[in-house]
A and B are shown apart, each in its own frame.
Chain A
């Protein structure tokens, strides 16, 4: 092989290796557990922004920025998820109980049929706002790994309390849920 051909071959091989390394780094950097990881480490990261249409698109869109200044319980769910059915009445009760204090519940229906989600909301008497994220575009940023999962956002838009995996009204999660509500409201515990 001539010297020039060898040099070109080496540059080509080094370039290919650098490209593969770059892809690996990019994948690792974008494969983190979202803000849920930071929350688990005791940090209070800003809640990832989103703007999604309501279950009925004619009702317009909701963004997290629209709710700034309000404590928010963000609940990820899907109509096919059994614990989501179990916790829906408890979420609705929370919404009714704390609404006067400015707290709102925001449901994010993900990886679901919009029609199924509408029927679910009707069946379980859900009146708090619910948005639709069929493709699950929000899940990665929030670090959601299953349904249901619940987060608490305070008035400044930061995550507080614990991320709750599973139903909110189970024995395991009840205490963390109540603490999360108080943290979102800004009440000392």
Chain B
């Protein structure tokens, strides 16, 4: 049984490494790289430099480079703005964090407003078990007694 489990784990590990070694797809990279002249992703551009970058990517994939290596080479040539998604480090990290911060702030503001409104409603309505004014209670009793008669 233990041998069987071990064999399964080894098979899974091998499958994982085989998947990791898969060559990058041209279409994926074209959607992740921006044409420097037209500022759209390569798959949306037919400009001369976009065509040249597509052929460069094709050649690098054929040469066995990984997606990360190809992106690094393009950043080296054209700068970090060539990446459709900013890297998740340094100043560019702000591009990822600010929307999350804005979302969090929005949730806090909406929550605070909802809490304020619910508190106001609580204070506007008397609690059901509040004691009646003794005079009012006496009058209610008298009225009820009249109906009972």
Contacts and interface: CB of A to CB of B under 8 A. Distances in A.
A5 B49 contact: no
**In terms of DSSP, what is the predominant structure of the interface of chain A?**
loop
A80 interface: yes
Contacts of A114: 77
Nearest to B37: A111
Contacts, number: 38
B120 A113 contact: no
A75 to B, nearest CB: 17
Interface residues of A, number: 17
Contacts of A87: none
Interface stretch (B62-70, B87-95, B111-119, B129-137): B111-119
Given A5-B112, A5-B113, A81 B79 contact: no
Interface residues of B, number: 17
A169 interface: no
Contacts of B48: 80-81
Interface in B26-66: 36-37, 48-49, 52, 56
A111 B117 CA distance: 56
A80 B48 CA distance: 6
Given A80-B48, A81-B48, A1 B113 contact: yes
Interface of B: 36-37, 48-49, 52, 56, 77-79, 81-82, 109, 112-113, 116-117, 120
Given A5-B113, A135-B36, 6 more contacts: A1-B113, A2-B120, A12-B109, A111-B49, A113-B52, A113-B56
Interface of A: 1-2, 5, 9, 12, 78, 80-81, 111-114, 116, 134-137
